[in-house]
Amino acid sequence: MKTFCGRANPTTGSMEWIEEGEDYDYHQEIARSRYADMLHDKDRNVKYYQGIRAAVSRVKERGEKAVVLDIGTGTGLLSMMAASAGADFCYAIEVFKPMANVAVKIVEKNGFSDKIKVINKHSTEVTVGPDGDMQCRANILVTELFDTELIGEGALPTYEHAHKYLVQEGCEAVPHRATVYVQLVESRRMWSWKKLFPVHVEAEDGEKILVPPSEMENCPGVSSVCDIQLNQMPSSDFSTLSDVVTMFSVDFSKPVQSASTYYRVQLEPVKSGKAQIVLSWWDIDMDPSGMINCTMAPYWVKPTSALQWRDHWMQCVYFLPREEPVLQGEKLYLTACRDEYSVWYNLQKAREGENKAGEEEHKADVCVESPVCRCRAHLLWNRPRFGELNDQDRTRQYIKSLRKILKTDSVCLCISDGSLLPVLAHYLGAKQVQCLQPSRIDLYHPYELWQAFFKANHLEDKIKIIEARPELLKPSHLEDKKISVLVGEPFFTTSLLPWHNLYFWYARTAVSTHLASNVTILPQSASLHMMIVEFQDLWRIRSPCGNCEGFDVQTMDDMIKDSLNFRESKEAEPHPLWEYPCKSLSDPQEVLTFDFTKTVPQHCLSTEGSVKLLRKGRSHGAVLWMEYHLAADISVSTGLMQLSNEKGNCEWNPHCKQAVYFFSSVIESEILTNPTAVTYSINFDTKTGEIAMDFKL
Ligand code: SAH
């Protein structure tokens, strides 16, 4: 059987459907899955084990047989814990076939085949009865179906169904309860992920201020969760306006309702400020008494010594529909609305002399509809992209460069998805400015967004939007003029890895016949940089686990390794490294350059070499990123921003994902005796726009 996978083609900038073998999809899913990360989460594992032991004991003390239902068994870990704790029988349900197969092998290898039945079904398909999947209803319900938002992986409907059909009334549940906490904060940095701030430009004829259209100002944004490693957000980047407040709890031992609802709490700000963001995380109590607690609370809420690093559960950032100035001590209501899979927040002020009736009235205005972007910008730009557009230092680099190259007779064409460059070029005096915004299914009508944007700034007749793909550009689009300045950030929404933005080079090549002989191209070139690093924690997501709480899970490690090696050459993967601290072990090195003043060559661009390791540490992998040379002496980096030389601490561009290539020593868990150099070979295939690489320690 064949499956079709949607993938962006970096040479055409558009989505293509590629036919892949049946195995491809699941290898991808396994290779990029969080199973390894979960198995390395010691805090989680220990607490589940404690909770399961306690639940089995309670059932046994009542003189009952302990029958466990483990929904989403994965490796079978929680069922094996239950069986070891003395459970009489476990039904281990797993919907993902390759995982269910692995669970069968792991259960067998650990000698639990007579106690654990692995069922490869979605829990809602499981039957109970003499001929059913389960002989009888279970009296212990064990699951780990939570994501960073708690309910995003469908925990609520799964529990709702399980209580109706699969477990006994009054069953024990591990975890017993989950509680969601919130804290109201002001943060220019995080608010810049949702809003476009006005852009100030010093033009020839005075200061211009570029403003977003009103639809964008009042847009509720999108409902997709913003989950981040909040522990990497320095306290100087936000200011807490409230104490930590309990928003809602779910008791998993009782029937659970998944239907949409809302929860409301009263808040009194501890400080006056602008309420913009709700930070949120949860904890789970593994037992009814709450003595066994596993929490995602960030560093300022709990001692750093108690922090367990994990990537499968992080913290959430919610954006209020609009910024609300609040005063210390005033009465506010914070509402969490949720449907089956997601949560969103609203803040309301209590009215003067409010009584019970007033409160009822408030409940009526609680918005129960999930946020839907009306302005299109939140569909075109993801949150890091908003942050990038709001980065004033970065904008200044572009302004400085444009100033150097623009002349009063410049005919300027911009190629980038949803870029402010055309407006900057216009303000800085280019005679004619146009931008290419081809309609693409993956771009959600950027044309309308740009029309609104230009209109809000009275630029609708100043900047022309050309709705054509670069290869279909005609002289008439350009009013029969040749382009004297071609600009791009470059940024394209379909890019996953840093070098995918080289689509700019392909587009530049496609419009060659329209370029004036003395054309200036910004950026004039790009370069690929590389550095060898030791990660503080990120290595765990690809590292084998071997033994987890006394259970042999190597079969799982082997499956992940197979999936990682499914393609002959391993691939680099994108990670936003500001969230994942690492130490540089080598100097950063420029490995390839791409000359945008020339067209894309027919032949591949490749390089080989070796990089010296300067610091002691474990070489986990190579990090790669692009730098763009905008004009003489002005470059922007999408990767390393700063390197402190003594310790090798790195500061990364906070708006971009970098490419991480994990060395096989991480995947094989090899211990290498201090290598002194790493040799590399890197090949940019100009036909596919992809980069293949290989490293040897
Ligand atoms: N219990 C394991 C794995 C947890 S990951 C552990 O704690 O290590 C969650 C797993 O649940 C995934 O493998 C996913 O495929 C599976 N899953 C999620 N919802 C499910 C459902 N309703 N029925 C069956 N499997 C489910």
Cα of 153 from ligand 1 centre, angstroms: 9
Q: Is the CB of 75 inside a 6 Å radius of any atom of ligand 1?
A: yes
pLDDT at 441: 59
Span 237-293, pLDDT tens digits: 999 999 999 999 999 999 999 999 999 999 999 999 999 999 999 999 999 999 999
Q: Is the CB of 95 inside a 6 Å radius of any atom of ligand 1?
A: yes
Task: Please state, as a whole number, how many other Cβ atoms lie within 10 Å of the Cβ of residue 365.
Answer: 9
| Residue nearest (by alpha carbon) to ligand 1 atom 22 | 123
For residue 158, give the ligand 1 atom closest to its CA: 22
Cα of 592 from ligand 1 centre, angstroms: 43
Q: Is the CB of 122 inside a 6 Å radius of any atom of ligand 1?
A: yes
For residue 633 the two structure tokens come to 């002496």
| Residue nearest (by alpha carbon) to ligand 1 atom 14 | 72
Specify the CATH superfamily of domain 528-541+548-696: Hnrnp arginine n-methyltransferase1 (2.70.160.11)
Region(s) of the chain under CATH 2.70.160.11: 178-196+203-302+309-350+367-375, 528-541+548-696
Which amino acid, 506? Y
For residue 121, give the ligand 1 atom closest to its CA: 24
pLDDT at 671: 66
Which amino acid, 660? V
Span 292-342, pLDDT tens digits: 999 999 999 987 667 899 999 999 999 999 999 999 999 999 999 999 999
What number of CA atoms fall less than 13 Å from residue 38's CA on the CB side?
20
pLDDT at 23: 67
Top mutation candidate among 90, 96, 116 for ligand 1, by most atoms within 8 Å of CB? 96
Mean pLDDT computed over 371-378: 90
User: What gap in Å lies between CA 510 and CA 503, rounded to an integer?
Assistant: 10
pTM across the whole model: 0.94
> Does residue 15 have a pLDDT over 80?
no
Number of H helices, E strands in the chain: 17, 38
pLDDT at 30: 77
Q: How many residues does the chain have?
A: 697
pLDDT at 365: 57
State whether residue 95 is helix, strand or coil: coil
Provide the annotated active-site residues: 144, 153
In the chain, pLDDT over 70 holds for what percent of residues?
A: 93
For residue 99, give the ligand 1 atom closest to its CA: 13
| Residue nearest (by alpha carbon) to ligand 1 atom 15 | 96
> Minimal CA–CA distance to 246: which of 226, 271, 225, 265?
265
Which amino acid, 295? T
Mean pLDDT computed over 203-208: 88
Cα of 192 from ligand 1 centre, angstroms: 35
User: What gap in Å lies between CA 214 and CA 377, rounded to an integer?
Assistant: 12
For residue 609 the two structure tokens come to 């070499």
> Does residue 571 have a pLDDT over 90?
no
Which CATH code for domain 391-522? 3.40.50.150
In the chain, pLDDT over 90 holds for what percent of residues?
A: 77
User: What gap in Å lies between CA 433 and CA 454, rounded to an integer?
Assistant: 12
Cα of 95 from ligand 1 centre, angstroms: 7
> Does residue 343 have a pLDDT over 70?
yes
Which amino acid, 273? G
pLDDT at 697: 86
Region(s) of the chain under CATH 3.40.50.150: 34-144, 391-522
pLDDT at 368: 65
Identify the weakest region by mean pLDDT among 101-110, 366-375, 460-469, 492-501: 366-375
pLDDT at 354: 58
| Residue nearest (by alpha carbon) to ligand 1 atom 11 | 72
Q: Is the CB of 273 inside a 6 Å radius of any atom of ligand 1?
A: no
Q: Is the CB of 126 inside a 6 Å radius of any atom of ligand 1?
A: no
> Which sign, positive or negative, has the C-alpha torsion 493, 487, 692, 22?
positive
Which CATH code for domain 34-144? 3.40.50.150
Return mean pLDDT, the chain.
Answer: 91
Res. 107 pLDDT band, cuts 50 70 90? very high
Cα of 664 from ligand 1 centre, angstroms: 28
381-386: long-range contacts, CB 8 A cutoff, minimum separation 24? 381/418, 381/493, 382/493, 383/193, 383/194, 383/226, 384/193, 384/576, 384/654, 384/655, 384/656, 384/657, 385/418, 385/491, 385/493, 385/655, 386/192, 386/193, 386/194, 386/195, 386/196
Identify the weakest region by mean pLDDT among 598-602, 658-662, 664-668: 664-668
CATH topology for the 178-196+203-302+309-350+367-375 domain: Hnrnp arginine n-methyltransferase1 (2.70.160)
Cα of 145 from ligand 1 centre, angstroms: 6
pLDDT at 1: 52
pLDDT at 305: 67
pLDDT at 442: 59
Mean pLDDT computed over 160-174: 98
Q: Is the CB of 74 inside a 6 Å radius of any atom of ligand 1?
A: yes
State whether residue 146 is helix, strand or coil: coil
Res. 356 pLDDT band, cuts 50 70 90? low
Quick check: 178 and 250 in contact, CB under 8 A?
Answer: yes
pLDDT at 664: 81
Is the bond preceding 175 in cis, omega lying within 30 degrees of 0?
A: yes
pLDDT at 148: 97
Q: Is the CB of 641 inside a 6 Å radius of any atom of ligand 1?
A: no
Task: Please state, as a whole number, how many other Cβ atoms lie within 10 Å of the Cβ of residue 7.
Answer: 13
Mean pLDDT computed over 591-616: 95
pLDDT at 370: 86
Cα of 74 from ligand 1 centre, angstroms: 5
Span 390-409, pLDDT tens digits: 999 999 999 999 999 999 99
Q: Is the CB of 133 inside a 6 Å radius of any atom of ligand 1?
A: no
